Structure 1
Amino acid sequence: MSVTAQSVWNNCLEFIKDNIQPQAYKTWFEPIKAVKLTDNALSIQVPSKFFYEWLEEHYVKILKVSLTKELGETAKLVYIIKMENTYGNKQPFTEKIPSSNRSAVKSQEVDVPFNNKNPELRNPFVIPGIRNLQIESQLNPNYSFENFLEGDSNRLARSAGLAVASKPGGTSFNPLLIFGGVGLGKTHLAHAIGVDIKDKYPEKTVLYISAEKFTQQYIDAVKKNNRNDFIHFYQIIDVLIIDDVQFLSGKSGTQDVFFHIFNHLHQNGKQVILTSDKAPVDMQDIEQRLLSRFKWGLSAELQNPDFETRVSILKNKLYRDGVEMPEDIIDYVAKNIKTNVRELEGAIISLIAQSSFNKKEITIDLAKQIVEKFVKNTKREVSIDYIQKTVSEYFQMDISTLQSKTRKRHIVQARQLAMFFAKKFTKASLASIGSQIGKRDHATVLHACKTVDNLSSTDKQFRKYVEDITKKLSI
């Protein structure tokens, strides 16, 4: 049997898979593609410079062992970095080369030239008629890294944020895209990065803006025939933070102008930070050329905080407010509000308010009343674990059976229903849903959702499954 790049890499992956955590394997090795095998050197393509640096720092030993097993002591590994055109320092075992198709990609880019002829740019953030380039950052100083507590659910995003704040525009995390569900701290983290940069580099121009406001400013600029001024204004920003970038969905004019602004900032070593409620792979109606740029840096997900992190968040909130509260009550609130940091803090504020206004002692009973009302009023978010449990019980099977690789029709349908309801009732990305329901990819989840929609409209029995489970999950 002839030895190919793919066969060598597949054997390496088998070895690596047996020696690292499943989540690490999924994150750092599944996206890699084997490209070619020449003179005992295996070339692999990685999505970004950050990927290459992470592999070199954390997995170079296991890569060397696995490749040496396949190709012997003279084995070499070559990284081809997608969308890169810079050479890095060569390693004793590995080397980095630019993607061969980079020049073709680059030639398709069109940038809006920076125009210095008009020294008086119109600033969208000042009163019309007053020409002034003193730019207010629009940052909220109350959002800091100090009160953005670290946990397993946010460690990657927070660490990347700290790295960007220390060296804006000078890391591989450009752009830095922070994504996750409602109330998990995307806006907080984006502000914290900006605030930290302003502290460390007072001379840098930092600007925070929501995608909605950015769009409105662009519409106003077009109406007033100021489009070029709008572009030039944003091109002088050193650190641009755009919140809820998914709002650009379907707005082709705004996407086009943002594309030019992004290119200019990125090419000039300026930092771009984005937040979104979904991963780039799940964004609908965003131009492919923009999505590809979103993937150039790092996409870091904020997940639901675990119990220990929720307790830490509550204690930190109480400490900042100068309030003492019994441990058992803090634990009770943390155990019962699981999906949303904003709700978590809201419940503790309500508890303090009820206690002080009605002069009641803070007890477990009072905590139960507040949490019940709060969760009911905020329309409880259903977790993927709860959905899997509900669907498994409905079809009288174990969760392990639901997640298994079996192709038996009734199990496949149960699994597809779980994926469908996870997309419907949670803010999790398709990739996140797939990984939690039997380690599937986002394409499998998308297919499951389409299948459920089709069967619901053609199969009476299947429609009843959907209606029954919907009722159970809506209680």
Structure 2
Amino acid sequence: MSGSFWQSFLTTLEELKKQNPIYYSILSDLDVLEVSDDTVVFGCGSVGAKNYMQKKQNDFEGELSEFIKKNVSVVFVLREEKKQKKTPLLNYEPTKNDVVRAAGLRTNFTFESFAVSPTNQVAFAAAQAVSKQPGSSYNPLFIYGGVGVGKTHLAQATARAVLLENPDIGVFFCSGERFMNELIESIRTKTTPKFRKKYRGLNLIVVDDIQFIAGKRTVQEEFFHTFNSVVSSGGQIILTSDRPPHEIKNLEDRLRSRFSGGLIVDIQNPDFELRTAILLIKAREKNIDIGIDAAKKIAENVMDARALEGSLLTLYARTVDAGSEISLPSVERFLFQKKERRPKTSPQEAIKAVCSFYNIKPTQIKDKTRKSNIAFARQIAMFVLRTEMGLGFEEIARLLKRKDHTTVMYGVNKIKGILMKDTAIKEDVFAITSSLFPST
């Protein structure tokens, strides 16, 4: 075996150049100093580069052996000082953020930046337990919930904590879609063994939106074996989904059984206090100055957790351009303008939305019945028609077939009073208005 293989090997690493530029740069700078029948000695440009490659040695030996079709061992030594290239990157010791990014994780998804409230505290406690004893506590950890509630953040924070405590172990985060795409590509390029080695050799794998693989037979087959391989070797599995395992349609029973074999925790939609906390955390991360009253006002009017950050950034852009800070008056102006731009919705659609939410028929809400559940839904409809759509009391009375508009006035004021005290009803009203005006 001669040293001519090295440059040919480097040309096969274009994908690595994009995914892990530090690893690729260090590889590119290695010199082949000595080649024997089954050993290759590489010269490294710095102590940092040598230490880095020694951590990667097992994976590197496997990749190199596969390329030259022969099992080889590698040895890393320092080059002589006079031969060292003056490349700053070679003296660069990978930082914590480099390690985190190489595992597919976001550097800002940490336990410290995760806002905890009663809606997610069980999931948070479970994630922390897993981070302290991966592979033995709650395996798999299955986190489910709606869009924007923090599933991905919590899953990544768990993986990050494990990785930083044990930098040399294999940790990787991917979506269900990415797992599928990589599998398809490996089949197309006939590199399935490499794909399996990558995933089945991990110590911790996080798969986001695992429901994506449902109904895809080959992908489910591959993930089943990946799951078994990781768990049987003592590794940890963390999965996220928009629904619990038993509600994922077209998921194979054997996978459903595996997913249900650990701990299943849900994260509910953020309540008012959590939305306020999320806003303040996002503002601190982005060095945006916002008062508590302004944050509370946004949290009162924006239910979706992801939309909170969008509202914050939009407000910040407007206030910076105007040379002012995010104050309560500026938030109120923003919310008013946002409401003005809402798509047109008819009163009948609003009534239907209320009826659908409370599981009653539109004809019932217009009846004379005084059944408590129907009467309450009717008052909610009055409130929505008045406060969200700006209709007059007399018009609302006509739409709901009430004889007197004072009945409507009473109903609207009653709901206003309830909303001041009952956060659950407030959440219900927001859910109804969000279905009518998705952008709010």
TM-score, scaled relative to structure 1: 0.53
Residues 244 and 322 of structure 1, relative CA distance in 2, 3 Å threshold: same
**2: CA distance between counterparts of 1:304 and 1:265?**
32
Q: Establish whether residue 157 from structure 1 lines up as the match of residue 123 from structure 2.
A: yes
Q: Which moved more, 1:354-363 or 1:325-334?
A: 354-363
Q: For residue 146 of structure 1, what is the amino acid of its counterpart?
A: E
Provide the residue aligned with 1:184 in structure 2.
Answer: 149
For these two proteins, the number of residue pairs brought into alignment is 281
**2: CA distance between counterparts of 1:121 and 1:474?**
55
Provide the residue aligned with 2:62 in structure 1.
Answer: 120
1:54-101 CA-partner distances (Å, limit 9, x unpaired)? xxxxxxxxxxxxxxxxxxxxxxxxxxxxxxxxxxxxxxxxxxxxxxxx
**1: CA distance between counterparts of 2:236 and 2:188?**
29
Normalized per residue, the structure richer in helix is 2
Provide the residue aligned with 2:44 in structure 1.
Answer: none
Gaps (5+ residues) in structure 2? 1-57, 66-71, 73-98, 378-431
Provide the residue aligned with 1:39 in structure 2.
Answer: none
- Within 5 Å, give how 1:379-398 maps onto structure 2: 388-389=357-358, 391=360, 395-396=364-365
2:243 aligned residue (262, 265, 278):
278
- Within 5 Å, give how 1:34-433 maps onto structure 2: 120=62, 136-171=102-137, 173-338=138-303, 340-371=304-335, 388-389=357-358, 391=360, 395-396=364-365, 401=373
Question: 3-state SS of the aligned residue for 2:105?
Answer: coil
Gaps (5+ residues) in structure 1? 1-115, 124-130, 403-410, 412-469
The structural deviation recorded for 1:200 is: 1.2
**2: CA distance between counterparts of 1:214 and 1:139?**
15
Residues 365 and 286 of structure 1, relative CA distance in 2, 3 Å threshold: same
Q: Establish whether residue 474 from structure 1 lines up as the match of residue 420 from structure 2.
A: no
Provide the residue aligned with 1:94 in structure 2.
Answer: none
Q: For residue 117 of structure 2, what is the amino acid of its counterpart?
A: G
Question: 3-state SS of the aligned residue for 1:272?
Answer: strand
**2: CA distance between counterparts of 1:393 and 1:146?**
47
Question: 3-state SS of the aligned residue for 1:395?
Answer: helix
Mapped contact 1:390–1:472 kept (Cα < 8 A) = no
Question: Could you tell me the percent identity over the aligned residues?
Answer: 31
**1: CA distance between counterparts of 2:175 and 2:169?**
20
Mapped contact 2:206–2:237 kept (Cα < 8 A) = yes
Q: For residue 348 of structure 1, what is the amino acid of its counterpart?
A: L
Q: CA RMSD in A?
A: 3.7
TM-score, scaled relative to structure 2: 0.57
Provide the residue aligned with 2:426 in structure 1.
Answer: none
Mapped contact 2:200–2:226 kept (Cα < 8 A) = yes
Residues 386 and 371 of structure 1, relative CA distance in 2, 3 Å threshold: farther
Q: For residue 354 of structure 1, what is the amino acid of its counterpart?
A: R
**2: CA distance between counterparts of 1:342 and 1:377?**
20
Residues 328 and 168 of structure 1, relative CA distance in 2, 3 Å threshold: same
Larger Rg computed on CA atoms: 2
